């Protein structure tokens, strides 16, 4: 800082205001000898003082209560408990109706399915009782050989005992 043409920056001047011990000896001597830098320092001090005064001016007094721009109206009639009771009543009624409606519908559905099942089985019995081929074709089908029962088939093709004995 021997050169008089170089002045301190704003950060260095602010640092001198905050804590002068952090500055080097060159900066301290320049600040003491340079009138331009001293003017900058006094201008910063005055600006900070004005800032403090403005802050004091705009802050409210601590003794005063803060003023609210709106006031909450007081309810003369408690609405929240009545609303909660109404919601609970609606839920109870909905639960009761669902129990009544769904239990009846399930019984009706079961009865309807059982009647449909009976009708289907009756139709199936009728189909099975009817001859599915004309009489002249029944002679050449396996259905005409009804004298082959399970005992005859097992005699011809014994399945159960041969595999277990091996």
Residue 153 lies in a domain: no
Q: What is the DSSP string of 114-155?
A: HHHHHHHHHHHHHHHHS-SS-HHHHTTSGGG-TT--HHHHHH
Give the per-residue pLDDT at 89: 95
Same domain, yes or no: 54 and 84: no
Tell me how many domains the chain contains. 2
Q: How many angstroms separate the first and last alpha carbons of the chain? A: 115
Residue 76: pLDDT over 70? no
Give the per-residue pLDDT at 109: 77
Residue 111 lies in a domain: yes
Which domain range does residue 98 map to? 80-130
Give pLDDT tens digits for 13-50.
Answer: 888 888 777 778 888 888 888 898 889 989 888 888 88
Residue 51 lies in a domain: yes
Residue 156 lies in a domain: no
Residue 159 lies in a domain: no
Give pLDDT tens digits for 121-130.
Answer: 888 777 776 6
Burial of 28 (0-12, 13-18, 19+ CB in 10 A): middle
Residue 158 lies in a domain: no
Residue 113 lies in a domain: yes
Residue 23 lies in a domain: yes
Residue 80: pLDDT over 50? yes
Residue 164: pLDDT over 60? no
Calpha distance 33→165 (Å, rounded): 124
């Amino acid at each position: 800082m021997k050169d008089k043409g170089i002045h301190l920056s704003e950060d260095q001047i602010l640092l001198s205001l905050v804590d002068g011990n952090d500055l080097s000896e060159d900066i301290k001597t320049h600040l003491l000898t340079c009138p331009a830098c001293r003017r900058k320092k006094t201008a910063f001090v005055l600006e900070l003082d004005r800032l403090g005064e403005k802050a004091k001016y705009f802050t409210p007094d601590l003794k005063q209560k803060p003023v609210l721009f709106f006031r909450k109206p007081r309810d003369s009639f408690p609405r929240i408990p009545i609303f909660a009771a109404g919601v609970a009543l609606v839920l109870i009624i909905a639960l009761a109706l669902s129990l009544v409606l769904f239990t009846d519908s399930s019984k009706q559905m079961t009865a309807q399915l059982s009647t449909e099942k009976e009708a289907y089985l009756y139709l199936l019995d009728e189909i099975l009782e009817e001859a599915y081929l004309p009489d002249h074709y029944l002679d050449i089908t396996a259905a005409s050989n009804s004298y082959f029962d399970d005992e005859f088939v097992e005699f011809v093709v014994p399945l159960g005992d041969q595999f277990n004995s091996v």
